[in-house]
Amino acid sequence: MDSNRILKIGLFGFGCVGQGLYDILQRQPNFPAQIVKICVKDPLKERSLPADRFTFDAQELLNDDSLDILVEAISDAHDAYDIVTLALRQGKRVVTANKKMVAHHLEKLLQLQAEYGGVLLYEAAVAGGIPIVRTVEEYFGQEPVSRISGILNGSSNYILSQIFKEQKPYSEALQEAQDKGFAELDPWLDVSGADSRHKLCILAAHAFGRVLAPEEVPFIGINALAKADWEFAKRRGAVIKLVASLHTTEEGKLVPLVLPTLVNSIDDLYTVEQEFNGIVVEGAYAGAQLFKGRGAGGHPTGAAVLSDITGLLKGYQYHYQKLHEQAGVAELDTDFELEVYVRTENAALLGALSLTHIKLLQRQGETINLVGTIKLGALLKYQERLRETGSLVMATSVHFATQEKKIASPELAEAI
């Protein structure tokens, strides 16, 4: 610790994460840092603390030189970016929980730290209470990582568990996730896979030494799932999970994906249920490791913020070793092929996807189901149209291997 005095924390936001942190610090009276100012946006919202604990002026915190650490825990990514960059320009030590902001602006955030000497940590931005950012940064900092596959969004995982285990309809399960506080303010972020994509981008920087832009990651959400897809999964003896993954090919290129995925009982992610998160990290030497824990909620996320504050007190910062040594992967392998299940009513789109190795082709009314092989590039190119047309692309395995490549398959055009 820097000294014996109690360090002063300025907190932005008093939602789930902010209140979680506040409550934790209340229970840790000997912790050498305490929240002295809280900035919130809405003066009219009812708060669990007296009104005089709050300010509505961000500048009041940003201009207060007596504050040692700023914690940004608001949900709006634009406002978060403004607050964090203004703080970093003053060389401040900052903790953020905003994954969308970090994922979209990592390059800039790194540059500001280098230029002004500030420090930014963001353990709470990925997988809530699981210390995955620090572990990937520190433990796997020297070790080549071949694969990360994770269930990184607690809300969508909860919904999938409720649909599969409790046979609940999607809308009811979504409402429950919101009622229980697992969901983002904008639930589209959860169920579309966009939130998982943000987290994947953050992990890419630490594990693979690559600043990955969200736009480079194709994502399909669980909001695209229909009853037929669940039946397909059941016939395969699998469950459906929303899996975010990064892996390197033999040529050292990177493959990022966020897709509903068939997960079998022998896969580590199979055991990650309800609102839990789980991440498999496969290192060249350590082998595959599973990290599983609570990915959402005030206390787990607050605990992650607390660990960052503790890190700052000890002078800790991320070194981004793989990034700085340019040892990381640079290119995406847009030619990478993976086996997927596709369901769509749009035959034209299906043709555009350039699927190969087609099997299990079925047509019911307007709906076409098939299993085939797709290239990463095609997924990137057509993901928006897949979303627009309510189509689904689902990986048939967490291992993203193209299985049974040699099965003779009819030409797609002919088959339809």
Site residues (CB under 8 A) for a copy of itself? Answer: 20, 24, 27-28, 30-31, 129-131, 134-135, 138-139, 141-143, 268, 271, 283-294, 297, 299-300, 302-304, 306-307, 310-311, 314, 319, 325, 327
Taking the complex as a whole, the smallest distance from the CB of residue 141 to a copy of itself amounts, in Å, to: 6
For the beta carbon of residue 197, count every other beta carbon within 10 angstroms.
27
User: Closest CB to a copy of itself among 260 and 297?
Assistant: 297
User: Closest CB to a copy of itself among 237 and 287?
Assistant: 287
User: Closest CB to a copy of itself among 49 and 286?
Assistant: 286
Helix (H, G, I), strand (E, B) or coil at 223: helix
Q: What angle do CA 121, 122, 126 make, to 5 degrees?
A: 155
Closest CA to 319 of 86, 115, 83, 120: 120
Pair of tokens at residue 311 = 């890190």
User: Closest CB to a copy of itself among 199 and 357?
Assistant: 199
Taking the C-alpha atoms of residue 311 and residue 83, their distance in angstroms, rounded to an integer, is 21
Q: Note the helical H segments in 288-345.
A: 298-313, 321-324
In degrees rounded to 5, what are phi and psi of residue 200?
A: -60, -40
User: Closest CB to a copy of itself among 320 and 382?
Assistant: 320
Q: Catalytic amino acids?
A: 199
Read off the amino acid at residue 132: I
Taking the complex as a whole, the smallest distance from the CB of residue 27 to a copy of itself amounts, in Å, to: 8
User: Closest CB to a copy of itself among 24 and 349?
Assistant: 24
Closest CA to 236 of 272, 266, 262: 262
Closest CA to 9 of 31, 37, 30, 32: 37
Fill in the DSSP letter of residue 189.
Answer: H
Taking the complex as a whole, the smallest distance from the CB of residue 307 to a copy of itself amounts, in Å, to: 5
Q: Tokens 């596709």 label which residue?
A: 342
Are 41 and 74 spatial neighbours (Cβ–Cβ below 8 Å)? Answer: yes
Taking the complex as a whole, the smallest distance from the CB of residue 253 to a copy of itself amounts, in Å, to: 20
Taking the complex as a whole, the smallest distance from the CB of residue 105 to a copy of itself amounts, in Å, to: 25
Are 191 and 220 spatial neighbours (Cβ–Cβ below 8 Å)? Answer: no
* CB proximity list for 233: less than 8 A, separation 6 or greater: 239, 240, 262
Give the strand pairing for 287-294 and 7-12.
Answer: unpaired
Q: Tokens 């009811």 label which residue?
A: 172
Within a 13 Å sphere around the CA of 288, how many CA atoms are in the beta-carbon half? Answer: 13
Taking the complex as a whole, the smallest distance from the CB of residue 17 to a copy of itself amounts, in Å, to: 12
Q: Tokens 């905003």 label which residue?
A: 98
Q: Tokens 């790194």 label which residue?
A: 110
User: Closest CB to a copy of itself among 330 and 360?
Assistant: 330
Taking the complex as a whole, the smallest distance from the CB of residue 346 to a copy of itself amounts, in Å, to: 40
